[in-house]
Amino acid sequence: MKTASAISVQGLCKRFGDKTVVDNVNLEVPAGSVYGFLGPNGSGKTTCIRMICGLLEPSAGSGHCLEFDIMRQREQIKREVGYMTQRFSLYEDLTVAENLRFVARIYGLDRPKKVVDLAMDQFGMGDKRNQLAGTLSGGWKQRLSLAAAMLHHPRLLLLDEPTAGVDPKARRDFWKEIHELSSQGLTVLVTTHYMDEAEQCSDLAYIVKGKILVRGTPTSLVNQSNLTTFLVLGDDLLALANTLSADTGVEQVAAFGSKLHVSGPNEVKLTAILKSTCSLNQAYRKIDTSLEDVFIHLMQ
């Protein structure tokens, strides 16, 4: 992986009237990485992305995106970035090929028909050429959006919750495609609510109320949390969950099928609580804390 930064911003802020949506954000995204940008709804993720790619002017801050100044060279940034929004934003009453040809003309690409043909081959959409975009499944709409975002061969791809509403297989296929593009040198900045997707990112940043709370690799974030997690099995787990949730030494109790995940910041105290609370027909054992446990902890 390259060590240079595709994105380097300092003190990034965005205010709408007296409301600060993004507050003094510093972000370094290594070139060629798949960087996860996480946080609850309304935390400022999308606003940050729009400022970075030149769609929104920052209220304050400085930095560069692909060597271009984010304050003074926003038009140049737009030409080098592919942006895939959460909602399908192409024309549903146009065919797949018509949508891609339209995007190719917007970018002023030479020989747009050839460019579109190559893109449809690359993303496996040849047999969908004449199908109306509005009749595609969620997974194929997602693939069409990705093809459109990559049509002008950007150096940076921004993905804003790209797999929302698609089935697990389509999500897996999509991420396989993303990692293949990254291996060819493309930098990817992605927002997601899915923890299995966050674990596929090389680095993560977690933003809350416009401020970045933590950053690091998935493994380092789990280690930084200092959470201990136990798996609990047995009978009457609902009653046990209610009892554990009321204890101040227990931070999280979550049902996973017929099991419970119980987490807390103090392993000794949590072990004592489980020992005294669990009945003879209930058992517990320590397991690895997951990213989902960590992010629920951060939200609290």
pLDDT of residue 32: 93
Structure tokens at 125: 């959409």
Closest CA to 45 of 202, 211, 195: 211
5-216 is classed CATH 1.10.287.1080:
no
For residue 160, how many other CB atoms are within 10 A of its CB?
A: 19
Say which amino acid occupies 22: V
Instruction: Render pLDDT for 229-250 as a digit per residue (tens, 0 to 9).
Output: 999 999 999 999 999 999 999 9
| Percent of the chain predicted with pLDDT > 70 | 99
Of 3.40.50.2300, 3.40.1390.30, 3.40.50.720, 3.30.70.920, the CATH number of 224-299 is 3.30.70.920
Could you give the residue ranges of the DSSP H alpha helices within the chain?
45-52, 74-80, 96-106, 112-122, 138-149, 168-183, 195-198, 218-225, 237-245, 267-277, 291-299
Q: Are 286 and 254 in contact (CB under 8 A)?
A: no
Neighbours of 15 (CB within 10 A): 14
Half-sphere exposure of 195 (CA within 13 A, CB side): 12
The structure tokens 């065919």 sit at 95
Burial of 43 (C-beta count, 10 Å sphere; 0-12/13-18/19+): buried
- Indicate the average pLDDT of the chain: 91
pLDDT, average across residues 144-171: 89
Mean pLDDT within 68-84: 93
| Predicted pLDDT of residue 2 | 42
Query: What gap in Å lies between CA 248 and CA 287, rounded to an integer?
Result: 21
Cα distances (Å, whole numbers) of residue 276 to 48, 244, 282: 47, 11, 11
pLDDT of residue 40: 84
Give pLDDT, residue 166: 78
Packed helices 237-245 and 267-277: angle between N→C axes, nearest 10 degrees: 140
Q: How many of the other CB atoms lie within 10 Å of CB of 106?
A: 12
Task: Round to whole Å and give the CA distance between 141 and 137.
Answer: 6
Spell out the domain ranges in the chain: 5-216, 224-299
For residue 201, report the phi and psi dihedrals to the nearest 5 degrees.
-85, 145
Q: Name 205's bridge partners.
A: 37, 215
pLDDT at 164 over 90: no
List the 19-30 sheet strands across, edge first: 19-30, 5-16, 60-65, 68-69
- Res. 1: pLDDT tops 60: no
The residue-averaged pLDDT of 113-122 equals 93
300 — pLDDT class (breaks 50, 70, 90): confident
Q: With contact defined as beta carbons under 8 Å apart, do 30 and 75 qualify?
A: no
Question: 81-85, 163-167, 230-234, 238-242: which has the minimum mean pLDDT?
Answer: 163-167
Distance CA 201, CA 179 (A): 9
Report whether pLDDT(187) > 80: yes
pLDDT in tens, 280-291: 999 999 999 988
Residue 260 reports pLDDT greater than 80: yes
Please state the three-class secondary structure of 185-199 as a single string.
CCEEEEECCCHHHHC
pLDDT per residue over 41-55, tens digit each? Answer: 888 999 999 999 999
The whole-number pLDDT of residue 173 equals 87
Q: Are the beta carbons of 148 and 90 closer than 8 angstroms?
A: yes
